[in-house]
Structure 1
Amino acid sequence: MNSPKRIDVHQHILPPEYGDWLYKQGVVGAGGINLPEWSVDGALDVMDTFGIARSILSVSTPGVHLGDDREARVMARVVNDYAAQVVSDYPEKFGYFATLTLPDVDGAIAEANHAFTVQNADGVVLIANSRGLYLGDQAFDPLMEELNRHHAVVFVHPGELPGGSVDGIPSFAMDFLLDTTRAAFNLVKNNVPRRYPNLKFVLAHAGGFLPFASHRMAIAMVATGARDPFEALRDFADFYYDTALSGSPAALPSLLAFANPGHVLYGSDWPFAPVAAGAYFNSLLDSNETLDERTRAGISHRNAQFLFPRFLAHPVSDAT
């Protein structure tokens, strides 16, 4: 079957200066995957191959904070200026999530304000943990307050676990899923979604283990005395989720059964997920006979259009 045109909320960008800087810092990969090549032409080619009409670009882990606040602030501006220029050059093809400087909160607030007021960013990307400090920690409340003021979309992307990985098991295979799940738990445990109601969180990779383990995690809220478990479940379900590497017939039913209607979005994870992997998961989505046309169109593009005003100006057709 021919797929409807998609809106990809999980597509990465590697500006040349950022890639060179990572190599100089000794970072040659992320999650057990070597840093891939990236170019505008390459992105447009993959979008054409995958039937993607528009993509929201973001920098992946490790982000820009490798231990030095000043250096992180400089590099955040470099990558955001680059991404904003790509969007300016191709306004009907791309949007972008601004990169911030956590755990440097002051730098993150300044960069977020610049990204929203000067560069028209579509949201921000935050790594689930910043040097061991997870989203939801009260140390990040001033940033949440600033993002709430901007009615921001916050894309939560996994990083390396604070405890390190296990030899022979690439981080992207399991640790990344746990990292996102920990961040989601901590956000809800500390009542961040309700204290900052203008925020909309998008969890990468179907939220890691969250949909599958949500009720077990809600019980843990009781054990810790943190939250009412039924409120916690409602907050978990109110997150947005992307399908990057998660559109399989094993993962997708759990996600759709759990997430609020309209909260599942398409994601490719290119170029960290190679074309073959993206094609495989696209084929699973497209051949899934349990999806009705409304659900299929929602995942493909409708849900993203409601979430991101940029795309309402040039809506994607439901036509296949």
Structure 2
Amino acid sequence: MESSPKIDVHTHYLTPAYVQALKDAGQFPGPDGLPFTPTWNPDDHLAFMEKNNISKSILSCSQRHLGREVTREVNVYAADLKLKYPSKFGFFASLPLPDIAGSLLEIDYALDELNADGFVLLSNFHGIYMGDPQLSPIYAKLQERRATVFVHPTAPCIARTCNHDVRSSAPLADAYMIPIMEYLFDSTRTFVDLLLSGTAAAHPDVNFIVPHCGSALPSLLDRMVVSSSWDSDGFVSTRGPIQPITASFVKELFAKQFYFDLAGVAMANQIHHMLRWVGTERFLYGSDVPWTPWAGAEKRLKEIEEELPKLFGEQEIRDICYGNALKLLAM
């Protein structure tokens, strides 16, 4: 098919302070077992966009927890880039979680002073997953601001004491890079927590972008629905009773608050499974550059452009690549 204009909602940037934070955390040559940290600059990113008919990129930082100082630095950098190239770049602001007080301040600052398009949250913050009651003040603020939240996976935290040490955070972490399996599992883990805890439903004005076309959610949603009804038989979470949910409830929630990006390897199987749960208006384009190298992202894009016409009409494809993000981000 002829290349459709695209808005890229899953794409990243790196600043010197961010790279130094990786080094200080011992995550070098790359985080989460990756053998590299990519070089990045705006010119290379703009060239990639021009070559692949990407109208706008919504940048975010990923993988690492950042303190208040580095968080502010990366957010100001992205805001300056958006100001310089308003038609080309937007950004999801980072938050210094698990610092609740600092994050509440940063939400208002990012929206009121930096003109952020939303926020990027990691799948967990030192073992605090997205349905954790500790995050209640954050969700109250996000609800107040009617914010969009893009979630990016990080290494799982089996115990709160792990401090995201790759050697202790996941089985087989020394054998296989964390992104191969654990990114998908940790994204799924945190969204199951978000759904079963009732957190998403309790904040109806917060929109969530799920990475990698739902990660492993399509394989678990049916089990999650059935398991939630076990509460009446004494199966409860450690936080208390689980609110039983139904497949129709999940579909309604997804249709109101959830979007699914196509970053990664989404076309062979995942998109087919997600279509049981959502319509085309909930899909968004994502490249994952530069953590997915530029050439690799172009291969994934070619797969998308070859497979989408087998499933959808021209207008639906335009919406997936461009229109859905345009509506979500009100650009």
Give your verdict on TM over 0.5. Answer: yes
For residues 1-320 of structure 1, what are the structure 2 equivalents within 5 Å?
1-28=1-28, 29-33=30-34, 34-64=36-66, 72-163=67-158, 164-165=169-170, 166=172, 167-223=174-230, 224=236, 226-230=242-246, 231-236=249-254, 238-288=257-307, 289-309=310-330, 311=331
- Contact between 1:184 and 1:236, CA under 8 Å: does it hold in 2? no
Q: Secondary structure at the match of 1:257?
A: coil
Give distance in 2, aligned partners of 1:107 and 1:96.
19
CA shift, 1:236, in A, is 4.8
| Stretches of structure 1 lacking an aligned partner (at least 5 in a row) | 65-71, 312-320
**Distance across 2 between alignment mates of 1:304 and 1:124:** 15
In 2, the alpha carbon distance for the partners of 1:32 and 1:10 equals: 21
- Output one character per residue of 1:44-93: Cα deviation in whole Å (capped at 9) or x when no partner: 111122221101000011131xxxxxxx0111101100010010110000
* SS at structure 2 position matched to 1:267: coil
Question: How far apart, CA to CA, are the structure 1 residues paired with 2:311 and 2:25?
Answer: 47
Unaligned runs of 5+ in 2: 159-168, 231-235
Distance 1:77 1:282, change over 3 A: same
Q: Quick one: distance in 1 between partners of 2:289 and 2:218?
A: 23
Shift of 1:133: 0.9
Q: Which runs of 4+ in 1 moved over 4 A?
A: none
Could you say what secondary structure the match of 1:194 adopts? coil
Q: Secondary structure at the match of 2:275?
A: helix
Tell me if the contact between 2:79 and 2:116 (Cα under 8 Å) persists in the aligned partners: yes
Q: Which residue type is aligned with residue 160 of structure 1?
A: A
Equivalent position amino acid for 2:107 in 1: A
Bigger shift: 161-170 or 53-62? 161-170
Output the CA distance in 1 between the equivalents of 2:115 and 2:298: 31
Q: What are the Cα deviations for residues 92-111 of structure 1, in whole angstroms up to 9, with x where unaligned?
A: 00100000011111111110
Q: Deviations over 1:145-191 (max 9, x none)?
A: 00111110001111101132313221111100011111111111111
Structure 1 234/274 Cα, relative in aligned 2: closer, same or farther at 3 Å?
A: same
Shift of 1:17: 2.2
Asked if the contact 1:218/1:233 (under 8 Å) is kept, the reply is: no
The Cα shift of 1:233 comes to 4.9
Are residues 180 and 229 of structure 1, via their aligned partners in 2, closer, same or farther at CA, if it must alter by over 3 Å? same
CA contact (8 A) 1:211 1:259 kept: no
Q: Tell me by how many angstroms 1:261 deviates.
A: 4.2
Deviates more, 1:217-226 or 1:270-279: 217-226
Report percent identity of matched pairs: 33
The SS at the match of 2:40 is: coil
Counterpart CA distance in 2 for 1:190 and 1:180 is 15
**How far, CA to CA, are the matches of 1:144 and 1:259 in structure 2?**
24
Q: Provide the rounded CA distance (Å) in 2 between the counterparts of 1:73 and 1:92.
A: 28
- Bigger shift: residues 248-257 or 85-94: 248-257
Instruction: State which drifts further: 41-50 or 256-265.
Output: 256-265
Query: What secondary structure does 2:290 align onto?
Result: coil
Please state whether the residue corresponding to 2:93 is helix, strand or coil: strand
Output the TM-score relative to the length of structure 2. Answer: 0.87
Indicate the residue corresponding to 1:67 in structure 2: none
Cα distance in 2 for residues equivalent to 1:3 and 1:212: 31
User: C-alpha distance in 1, partners of 2:198/2:280?
Assistant: 22
Give SS of 2:178's match. coil
Q: SS at 1:191's partner residue?
A: coil
8 Å CA contact 2:264, 2:288 repeated in 1: yes
Shift of 1:196: 1.1
